[in-house]
Amino acid sequence: MKPICNAPGCGRISHSRGLCGTHYQRLRTTGSVRAEVPIAVGAHHAWLIRNCSPNHDECVLWPFSTAKNGYGQVCVGSKGMGAHVVACEIAHGTKPSPTHEAAHSCGRRACINARHLRWATQVENAADRILHGTHLEGERANPAKLTNLQADQIRKDPRQQRAIAADYGVSQRAVSLIKRGETYRTNARMS
């Protein structure tokens, strides 16, 4: 019979020093087998631990791989996670609820400085994105079919919405949302 991991409640097969691979890695990187600190793999995790709590208020940008959305990526166990989320967990503990998000006070997605991170609700995090100007709206939104200039022209166009929609290749509903200011808001309304 193979030896079992000594970590409380684990039950996996022991590989080194009486621990499974996961708990051995956690012990090496955090000094404890307890799960409060997430386990990321290799040099990226070591770099994150060393750099996420600096003695300054400047941004610390993640130098490794990033997702298309600009957030740093780190492997935790066998799962990819946002580096900013792991940094927030290291500095501020686990999420208060499953719906909380790691929010940046600096507005820079690649920043992992724990002084710039906090747990926030989805509403609070969305408000931060609007404040920082990183909220994807108008032509910056991924599925955008119109530019902000075209939206301004639509807003000023006195014709019927169906005629405008046909000219721009969008639906009448899209024109209606633009005219009501629900999408493609003007710069004055966003500030």
Considering the domain 36-132, what is its CATH architecture?
Alpha-Beta Complex (3.90)
Looking at residue 119, its pLDDT comes to 92
- Runs of H (alpha helix) within 116-160: 122-132, 148-156
pLDDT in tens, the chain (191 residues): 778 888 877 778 888 788 887 777 777 666 677 655 444 456 787 888 888 888 888 999 998 878 777 888 887 766 778 999 999 988 888 888 988 999 888 888 889 999 999 898 888 877 777 666 665 555 555 565 777 788 888 889 999 999 988 888 888 988 898 888 877 766 534 43
In this structure, are residues 140 and 185 in contact, taking their beta carbons and an 8 Å threshold? no
Looking at residue 61, its pLDDT comes to 92
pTM assigned to the model: 0.52
- Residue ranges of the chain assigned to CATH 3.90.75: 36-132
In order of 43, 138, 165, 185, the CA distances from 182 in angstroms are: 45, 10, 16, 7
Looking at residue 163, its pLDDT comes to 92
Looking at residue 189, its pLDDT comes to 41
DSSP string covering 47-109, please? HHHHHSS-SSSS--B--S-B-TTS-BEEEETTEEEEHHHHHHHHHH-S-SSTT-EEEESS--T
Q: What is the CA 88 to chain-centroid distance, rounded? A: 11
Looking at residue 22, its pLDDT comes to 76
DSSP string covering 114-126, please? GGGEEEE-HHHHH
Looking at residue 2, its pLDDT comes to 78
**103 contact partners, CB below 8 Å, separation of at least 6:** 117, 118, 119, 120, 124, 125, 128
Looking at residue 130, its pLDDT comes to 63
Amino acid symbol at 112:
I
Angle between helices 148-156 and 172-179 (to 10 degrees): 80
Looking at residue 132, its pLDDT comes to 65
How far is it, in rounded angstroms, from Cα 124 to Cα 69?
19
Looking at residue 71, its pLDDT comes to 86
Looking at residue 161, its pLDDT comes to 92
